[in-house]
Amino acid sequence: MTRTGDTDLTAQSTSEAHAEAAAAAGVQGLLFDDDLRPMPEDVGFRGPTACAAAGITYRQLDYWARTGLVSPSVRPATGSGTQRLYGFRDVLLLKVIKRLLDAGISLQQIRTAIAHLSKRGIDDLTQITLMSDGASVYMCTSPDEVIDLLAGGQGVFGIALGGVWREVEGSLSELPTERADGHDDGDQHANDELAARRRARMTG
């Protein structure tokens, strides 16, 4: 478990231990072991699309980009008329920020948490649950860590990044994409892939 600002990270436990510990604590669904795969790195989403998927305003998006909280990783703005393109991971982080803001977490704490999340790999992100006591944000990588926080009275709420991933994936499957090189020949393919993943999970 890592409180944002700390540097030591605990190793992930097995998926079986995840399920057993989560069930024992009554926090089912906080950690996921699904096949959550990222989109191609050269496919992105314009600002308005990223806003729609994350549930934020364009003003927030622009401010967070200018202050370095979440910058468009597929294609940054390089001049007048250039469209920024946000990758799937960017939109995921935007959604997490929105959740933390709605929970009353300070922007300073959020910046620290996002800085830690940004350093982690995609596969690692899906195994993280963010917990907070309203003042600090904790990064848990196993249900045991979630249980420890709940037992200590520190966990007021939790955000499972695997769950947020699912939501973002579902939202983006209905929205337009764009390739970094400006070509649109891969747009429909990316949307079809997201939609197919969503349908596969819904049908079991």
Average pLDDT of the chain to the nearest whole number = 75
Q: What is the DSSP letter of 178?
A: E
- Tell me the one-letter amino acid at 183: H
What pLDDT score was predicted for residue 31?
Answer: 44
pLDDT of residue 28: 37
CA pair distance 181, 119, nearest whole angstrom: 26
- Strand pairing category for 178-179 and 129-132: unpaired
pLDDT per residue as tens digits for the range 107-150: 999 999 999 888 887 667 888 989 887 778 889 988 888 888 88
CA atoms within 13 Å, Cβ hemisphere of 137:
28
Residues, the chain: 204
Q: How far apart are CA 74 and CA 176, in angstroms?
A: 15
Give the C-alpha separation, 90 to 85, whole Å.
Answer: 9
What pLDDT sits at residue 29?
A: 43
> Among 119, 126, 204, 134, which Cα is nearest to 166's?
126
- Residue 102 main-chain phi, psi, to 5 deg: -60, -30
Give CA angle at 195 (189, 196), nearest 5°. Answer: 85
The pLDDT of residue 47 is above 80: yes
Q: How many Cβ atoms from other residues are within 10 Å of residue 193's Cβ?
A: 18
